[in-house]
Structure 1
Amino acid sequence: MAAAAYRHLYQGKRWYRLRYKQLQKDPLCCFCADRGVVRPAAVVDHIKAHRGNEDLFFDADNLQSLCKHCHDSIKQQMEKSGVARGCDESGMPLDPNHHWGSYARSAK
């Protein structure tokens, strides 16, 4: 389904209310927070791509707060490749599914 086919979902009051509630609940970017950076969120992102599925689109548990930079870079890259690149200040991968991260978790 083309993106324009479900663009109307972003126009209604239901979405604006849901977006507002998400930003009130989590006003900081969750990707930045994972790296120890405090940055206000400006975008409400769907964790799992909805592809026009209204149940998934309006599911509050499928939302996360991101800054514009993380949404337009890290999140887009994750959707295209399935992997988040980069590491935190300790050198551990940002992607919890990365094999180095699983080694560090099992060593604890």
Structure 2
Amino acid sequence: MPRKPKKPCKHPGCPELVEGMYCEEHALLHGQERRDSAVRGYDSKWRKARERFLKCHPLCVQCQREGRLVKATVVDHIKPHRGDPILFWDERNWQPLCKHHHDVKTMTEDRYQEYKY
């Protein structure tokens, strides 16, 4: 049976092309399961790398820019890797963030970064 063409995510304003109804980013907002974290690359190898990185970079870089010292709990991919293993493992593409700043970045910058010119 031939594959159906991808269509835009049903979330208002999202330009991602998907096979189902929603992109990974919006699936949780609409009650759909996200792919397992290990399938997305966040396995034991990632957890060890993340732990090492946060030991070397313990403070949220965005909080520091704001003049505050807050513990980083997330290793953020500066440029979203979108499944690219080279970009995923490139430590020059990592930054330590607190959960708040990671959530803010994910809901604003990451969503549109691929489409900026």
Normalised TM-score (structure 1): 0.65
Give the Cα separation in 1 of the matches to 2:105 and 2:87. 21
Query: Partner residue of 1:10?
Result: 42
Q: CA–CA distance in 2 between the matches of 1:56 and 1:35?
A: 27
Structure 2 CA distance, aligned partners of 1:34 and 1:66?
11
Indicate the percent of aligned positions where both proteins have the same amino acid: 37
Could you tell me which amino acid in structure 2 is paired with residue 60 of structure 1?
E
Is 1:69 equivalent to 2:100 in the alignment?
yes
1:58, distance to aligned residue in structure 2 (A): 1.0
Match of 2:85 among 41, 47, 54: 54
- The structural deviation recorded for 1:79 is 1.9
Q: Is the 8 A contact 1:18 1:58 kept in 2?
A: no
Structure 1: gaps of 5 or more residues = 83-108
- Between the two structures, name the one with larger relative contact order (CA 8 Å, sep ≥ 6): 1
Structure 1's 14 and 80: CA in aligned 2 closer, same or farther, altered over 3 A?
same
RMSD across aligned C-alpha pairs, in angstroms? 2.2
Name stretches of at least 5 consecutive residues in structure 2 with no aligned partner. 1-17, 25-34
Q: Distance in 2 between matches of 1:54 and 1:6?
A: 14
Matched-pair contact (CA < 8 Å) for 2:79–2:110? no
- Cα displacement (A) at 1:70: 0.5
Aligned equivalents of 1:24, 1:37: Cα separation in 2: 18
User: Structure 1 CA distance, aligned partners of 2:104 and 2:80?
Assistant: 16
